[in-house]
Amino acid sequence: MKFDTPATSNPIDQLKVVGHPVDRIDGPRKTTGTAPYAYERHDVARNQAYGHVLGAGIGKGRVTAMDTAAARAAPGVVAIVTTLDMPRLEKGPRNTASLFGGPDVQHYHQAIAVVVAETFEQARDAAAMIRVEYARQPGRFDLAAEGPKAQLASAESGEGGAAPQEDRTGDFEGAFARAPVKLDETYTTPDESHAMMEPHATIAAWDGETLTLWTSNQMIAWGRTDVAKTLGIPEENVRLDSPFIGGGFGGKLFLRADAVLAALGAKAARRPVKLALARPLMANNTTHRPATIQRIRIGAQPDGRITAIAHESLSGDLEGGGPETAVAQTKLLYAGANRLTAMRLAVLDLPEGNAMRAPGEAPGLMALEVAMDEMAERLGIDPIAFRVVNDTQVDPEAPDRPFSQRQLIECLRTGAERFGWSRRSATPGQRREGRWLVGMGVAAGFRNNLVMASGARVRLDGSGGVTVETDMTDIGTGSYTIIAQTAAEMMGVPLDRVTVRLGDSSFPVSAGSGGQWGGNSSTAGVYAACVKLREAVAQRLGFNSAEAVFADGEVRAGNHSAPLGQAAGADGMVAEDTIEYGDLAKRYQQSTFAGHFVEVGVDAATGETRVRRMLAVCAAGRILNPKSARSQVIGAMTMGVGAALMEELAVDKRHGFFVNHDLAGYEVPVHADIPHQEVIFLDEVDPISSPMKAKGVGELGICGVGAAVANAMYNATGVRLRDYPMTLDKMIDRLPQVV
Amino acid sequence: MRPFTYERARSPAEAATAVARQPDSKFIAGGTNLLDLMKLQIETPAHLIDVNGLGLDRIEATPEGGLRIGALVRNTSLAADERVRRDYGVLARALLAGASGQLRNKATTAGNLLQRTRCPYFYGTAQPCNKRQPGSGCAAIGGVTRQLGVIGTSEACIATHPSDMAVAMRALDAVVETIRADGTARRIPIAEFHRLPGETPHIETAMARDEFITAVTLPPPIGGRHVYRKVRDRASYAFALVSVAAVVQRDGTGRVALGGVAHKPWRVEAAEAELPRGAKQAMAAILDGAQPTHDNAFKVTLAERTLASVLAEARG
Ligand SMILES: Cc1cc2nc3c(=O)[nH]c(=O)nc-3n(C[C@H](O)[C@H](O)[C@H](O)COP(=O)(O)OP(=O)(O)OC[C@H]3O[C@@H](n4cnc5c(N)ncnc54)[C@H](O)[C@@H]3O)c2cc1C
Ligand code: SF4
């Protein structure tokens, strides 16, 4: 189905099942531990051996020798494959660093061996017996130091948020010079880790030349092509299966060493191999959100109207990598005739940077929305009023492109009322409760709505049961449930008559889970397949398909009605289709919006910041399931608090690695950090976006949160921080004396 | 994790004898620290002696009016004990500020005292570390040191001792009771129990290899206001950047021990005379001679400000 004109009314609009806060249909299996994750699929292949991956102990250089004698002789060892056994493997287009093979070490903990043994402990133990000799080379590990050598970058980050080279509208420099009120500040964000619960894990089994990978991957079709490319085998010979995924946040968008080394280990061992990347490898072996250094300049008239806005961002990556697209939102969020955005990319020898939840906007808004707060203060205007003055209903770089929907002002106003914004003192450092300096902050949330082609197959059986098959993944987001709701709505059956099967590369290729495109696009694909199935059913029953109503497990047309299953008969029926998008995304700017409100307490003596309450008001198209959408948003808000206050991969700039490579050293928020969260979804349907009229929310929830925390901290203390995470050491010298 | 053999000891003396007999052996109590380290091969015992079944899980009153805490008393039970909460509040609060509920259910009094540093380079097994591999060098110095020590450090090691419990025990002048394979028992004041790193950071305590902790005793209660303030980057489940254990009397005198700043719980008795004059003077004396790194210099300011806040709380 081609979607190239705005949606008109369709069966989804009935909202009998879609739009209801139903529980996750996979919930009971998750909570009873019977939803098996990749590493737990004990029954999919007999005689599984255990693999353990060894990572390089240097940041850059070469492996000159590996002594595996002791490891090979260790109890239980079945096979060892080292990086010296083969030339550097090919790599798929989505990987920057090589995943295995050859002597070169491009980054710390790059995989250099896999040990396969009868037990997990034996494999891990033997891996530690491998003696490795290295020739170290000096590396580039310090973003700020490499900044002057950075090149202008164009961005195709792989997960959207693209922005071309240096982008200019009007005359930024001239307008900025003339602006009566201005700001020119630099903000930094650190490298961050996805830190999801389930590590990268795979069971691999060969059957002759065909390879099956039971794995944990967000993008099945990408994974399949990249496995084939990396191992040099035909794509048809590869099957991926990933029905349950314990979180990804972008860390599992791409093929990683777990899948490649499970496959190589299984080949060498001549039996199935399961392995998971040990927690320390997650930071340095896999991808991370790259650090940024962002300069923002804003010029405005005394009435608050922005006349000049510039956002330039520097980030680093391995040779051949891409930039963090941190300027993406600045192209679209506020009006202003004279604009400049640019990204620079430095070559670093740190592990590969890549997408993490809301790549681009998440760190970009951490800078832009603090700059907006600072600017509002310089102008003497309330931060919400300042944003309202600069609202735009069209793409400011291309004014003939309207936003499909844009309710930023409503988000901010609704939030202000619900949060009690009027009680905030415009002068910082005014409110004290016992030990705590208390402040409120606001930030706009913004994330583009990306659409991706997505396919699905829908089966109908003789009893009226519906089964959906698509390689879409559920990374804890609720895909199973919203897909079931979509099929139930379309086919007129109760939710419990729908079975959803996901994550298998033998199913139709879907949008996958990334860039908050998954919910809208994958359900639109299911919609398309259901439209086809409905037509086939009507035809088989001899009904006029335009008239046919699918409800209560029946099909009705005029005076006739028949049970749905009757059409399917004993053999069942099946329909398959893919939703494909035309140029609506070019003609309209599709984005999602939020108002983020945060209240913090800052300990007046120690500078410890604790969030007291948070509110997000979101305008993101039709909300397919308010319960799972809320879960996504509060999870993202929590991650935003982490980014604001504690998350940082600490770089050892001498040796080139992230030092705090476990969950004790890389702190993320715990329950005690998140006392009270509220989420409001504004009523919105967006017919430009898809037949579902929905958009993404899973990333919107993090976009702007960090800045709202920063602004609240400023409001509490009068200390302005521009370097994340905003830990107490960065302000302790600037806090008032303790009495 | 290296393969290891395992036995259950039936008495403290037997435990000590077993460890003496086998050079590569270690006691295991809750296992919450030892097992993590074994998985990373930072600890590589060939034999484990399980000391959980020795009946050392009671808290008893001493004839002097103090408390004798069995070595195997769990952190949860110790924090919940009525006498501890009433008379040694600083200890109960320190315990509850540590780790998580699940870990405290497992963690024992002796194991907590003997837990090893959280220096990130100690865990980065590809890095040199004098504590992990004597003589290999210290990767932390010149590296990422925000969490590390500011006082009593050496050129060989700048790590800190991560325990909260031990900081409170230092303020309370606890005494560690031990027994050796040859049957000799001793009482080690907590001040002498943990060592500074010097040139041998791998030697962390005054204990001999075959020495087994049987109990920790607390002297009779000293009254006063008991405060434990742990400063950290998140609200729970994080090690201290700086912590302050204080017992403050009505007249403003008192005791102060610090966590997160040194290789041992840090207390300078002589400096406590400054307490009535305020946090600034007292902390200047307590941290006299501090040699922080660029990354952790904030701890000096933070310790002073935290003490000021603690004293205010104790007075209030
Ligand atoms: C995620 C995490 C977070 C944590 N956070 C904190 C925190 O915030 N604050 C804090 O203070 N602690 C924290 N801890 C550490 C925790 O308190 C210790 O792991 C625990 O106290 C160790 O006790 P255990 O009984 O499990 O010791 P084990 O791991 O069994 O043993 C530790 C050591 O003590 C030795 N040992 C044990 N018993 C005896 C004995 N009777 N005589 C001689 N030697 C003995 C063992 O041989 C071993 O070397 C944390 C731990 C984890 C894993
Ligand atoms: S500070 Fe101590 S524990 Fe840390 S690396 Fe240096 S020697 Fe090892």
Contact A660, B227 (CB under 8 A): no
Give how far Cα B39 sits from Cα of A125, A276, A523, Å. 9, 15, 44
C-alpha count within 13 angstroms, C-beta hemisphere, residue A47: 8
- Indicate which residue of A352, A489, A647, A699 is catalytic: A699
Quick one: pLDDT band at residue A738, thresholds 50, 70, 90? Answer: confident
Sheet holding B242-248, edge to edge: B225-231, B242-248, B254-259
Quick one: pLDDT band at residue A157, thresholds 50, 70, 90? Answer: very low
Question: Tokens standing for A379?
Answer: 């102008």
Of the candidates A128, A650, A733, which has its C-beta nearest B301's C-beta? A733
Residue among A318, A404, A331 at smallest CA distance from A586: A404
Identity (one letter) of the amino acid at A550? F
Identity (one letter) of the amino acid at A430? Q
Contact B205, B194 (CB under 8 A): yes
* pLDDT of B9 above 50: yes
Degrees to nearest 5, angle at CA B277 with B276 and B280: 120
Residue B139 in contact with partner chain A when CB distance is under 8 A: yes
A142-147: long-range pairs with CB below 8 Å, 24+:
A142/A651, A142/A653, A143/A291, A143/A293, A143/A314, A143/A315, A143/A316, A143/A346, A143/A348, A144/A293, A145/A653, A146/A316, A146/A346, A146/A347, A146/A348, A147/A293, A147/A314, A147/A344, A147/A346
Distance B116 CA to ligand 1 centre (A): 8
Which CATH number applies to A2-35+451-586? Answer: 3.30.365.10
Of the candidates B41, B124, B234, which has its C-beta nearest A669's C-beta? B234
Contact between A733 and B298 using a beta-carbon 8 Å cutoff: yes
Contact B78, B34 (CB under 8 A): no
* A80: exposed, middle or buried (Cβ count in 10 Å: 0-12, 13-18, 19+): buried
* pLDDT of B268 above 70: yes
Contact A199, A279 (CB under 8 A): yes
Question: Tokens standing for A734?
Answer: 């600037």
Quick one: pLDDT band at residue A154, thresholds 50, 70, 90? Answer: confident
> For chain A, what are the domain ranges?
2-35+451-586, 38-138+200-277, 292-450+590-734
Contact A95, A255 (CB under 8 A): yes
Q: What is the pLDDT of residues A485-527, one digit of tens each?
A: 999 999 999 999 999 999 999 999 999 999 999 999 999 999 9
Q: Give pLDDT, residue A739.
A: 66
**Pairs of CB atoms within 8 A across A/B:** 104
Question: Which overall architecture, per CATH, does domain A292-450+590-734 show?
Answer: 2-Layer Sandwich (3.30)
Entry pTM: 0.97
Q: Give pLDDT, residue A156.
A: 56
Residue among B7, B164, B174 at smallest CA distance from B75: B164
Alpha carbon distance B209, A290 (integer Å): 46
Alpha carbon distance A492, A537 (integer Å): 12
| Helix (H/G/I), strand (E/B), else coil: B275 | helix
Question: Which DSSP symbol is given to A44?
Answer: S
Alpha carbon distance B80, B91 (integer Å): 10
% of chain B surpassing 90 pLDDT: 99
Contact B34, B26 (CB under 8 A): yes
* pLDDT of B111 above 70: yes
Residue A484 in contact with partner chain B when CB distance is under 8 A: no
The reply to whether A292-450+590-734 shares the fold of A38-138+200-277 is yes
Residue B61 in contact with partner chain A when CB distance is under 8 A: no
Distance B43 CA to ligand 2 centre (A): 15
Of the candidates A125, A608, A659, which has its C-beta nearest B143's C-beta? A659
3-state SS, A252-316, equals: CCCCCHHHHHHHHHHHHHCCCEEEECCHHHHHHCCCEECCEEEEEEEEECCCCCEEEEEEEEEEE
% of chain A surpassing 90 pLDDT: 97
Contact A115, A80 (CB under 8 A): yes
Contact A584, A3 (CB under 8 A): yes
Residue B146 in contact with partner chain A when CB distance is under 8 A: yes
Q: Give pLDDT, residue A346.
A: 98
* pLDDT of B143 above 80: yes
Question: Which DSSP symbol is given to B78?
Answer: H
Active-site residue A699, yes or no?
Answer: yes
Question: Tokens standing for A482?
Answer: 């919203």
Give chain A positions within 8 Å (CB) of B241.
728-729
Contact between B118 and A735 using a beta-carbon 8 Å cutoff: no
Alpha carbon distance B193, A312 (integer Å): 55
* pLDDT of A159 above 60: no
* pLDDT of B250 above 70: yes
**Helical spans, DSSP H, in B22-72:** 34-39
- CATH 3.30.365.10 corresponds to the domain A38-138+200-277: yes
Alpha carbon distance A520, A114 (integer Å): 39
* pLDDT of A367 above 50: yes
Alpha carbon distance A432, A447 (integer Å): 35
Q: Give pLDDT, residue A162.
A: 54
Distance B291 CA to ligand 2 centre (A): 16
What average pLDDT score do residues A258-265 get?
98
Q: What is the pLDDT of residues A417-454, one digit of tens each?
A: 999 999 999 999 999 999 999 999 999 999 999 999 99
* pLDDT of A96 above 50: yes
End-to-end CA distance of chain A: 70
Give how far Cα A262 sits from Cα of A75, A223, A501, Å. 20, 14, 25
